[in-house]
Amino acid sequence: MKTVKHPLLHTVLGVLILAVLLFPIYWMINASLQPGGATVDTAWFPTDPDLAGYRTALAEQGGNLLTSLTVALGSVVLSLTIAVPAAYALARFRIRWAHWVLFAVLISQMIPGIVISNALYSAYADLGLLNSIPGLILADSSAGIPFAILICRALMESLPDAVVEAAMVDGAGPVRAFIAVVLPISRNALITAGLFTFLFTWSDFLFALTLTTTEEVRPVTLGIYNYLGAYVADWSSVMATAVLASVPAVVLLLIAQKYVAAGATGGAVK
């Protein structure tokens, strides 16, 4: 039976679905450009854009944005520093119980965050890590490391043995072969793991709420939460903060998407 294709219908349907999905983002940007007031009074289009909300957001939430950026970048560095060598060892070396180790890593991804945050609170109170950037980096890395291990191991296990052996023949030791050969070839997996760790840390609310109790160290997610209450007089500042908090994630996704979608072993063949 011959299938009838309707490309115009499919295009219209796709545009409608995309419009529905993007409408909350449009409304957030639209509300951020409106004069301060309740959301029920917001016009459908910012005919007279006002940047007062952004000035207020930068003044009141600029420090929180910097805290989130510091914690996110620190979590990426720490997660990859631990996860990449661990993934390489599990993928390339003959380690007994390796499958059980991977199973434990997978199980750790299923533990609810509230359980981990409550356990960390008592430990952090004894170690003096509450209300500290290193404490938040350690907490957020606990979620990024297992995922990074799974992503990087899947790629490193598929690398041809001849690539590493060729480096060994040229005089490179195991560490040098790992740094000079394996890491460049695994670039796409590293970027993917780092990207997801950054996005998780940037949007984290649970650890921020549990492990910080003062204004000195406060990620932007918690800053937005503290903006909200029974009544908010200036929604433009709230929406402006949300827009500013979305920019780093959007920019990072646009830059990294080609690496995430690229073939992971293309460089090894060359």
pLDDT tens for 167-194 read 776 666 777 777 777 788 888 888 888 8
Contact between 146 and 196 under an 8 Å Cβ cutoff? The reply is no
pTM of the model: 0.81
pLDDT number for residue 267: 39
pLDDT number for residue 77: 93
Q: How many CB atoms lie within 10 A of CB 262?
A: 13
64 or 99, which is more confident? 64
pLDDT number for residue 260: 66
Alpha helix (H) ranges present in the chain?
7-32, 52-92, 98-108, 113-127, 133-156, 161-169, 174-177, 183-185, 187-202, 206-211, 220-227, 235-261, 266-269
pLDDT number for residue 71: 93
pLDDT number for residue 1: 45
pLDDT number for residue 220: 87
pLDDT tens for 51-97 read 777 888 888 888 888 999 999 999 999 999 999 888 888 887 777 77
Annotated domain spans of the chain: 54-269
pLDDT tens for 8-48 read 787 888 888 888 888 888 888 887 777 765 555 666 776 67
pLDDT number for residue 74: 93
CATH 1.10.3720.10 is the classification of domain 54-269:
yes
pLDDT number for residue 231: 52
As given in the structure block, the two tokens for residue 236 are: 């433009």
pLDDT number for residue 76: 93
> CB under 8 Å to 135, separation ≥6 — which residues?
124, 129, 211
43 or 134, which is more confident? 134
Residue 128 has pLDDT above 70, yes or no: yes
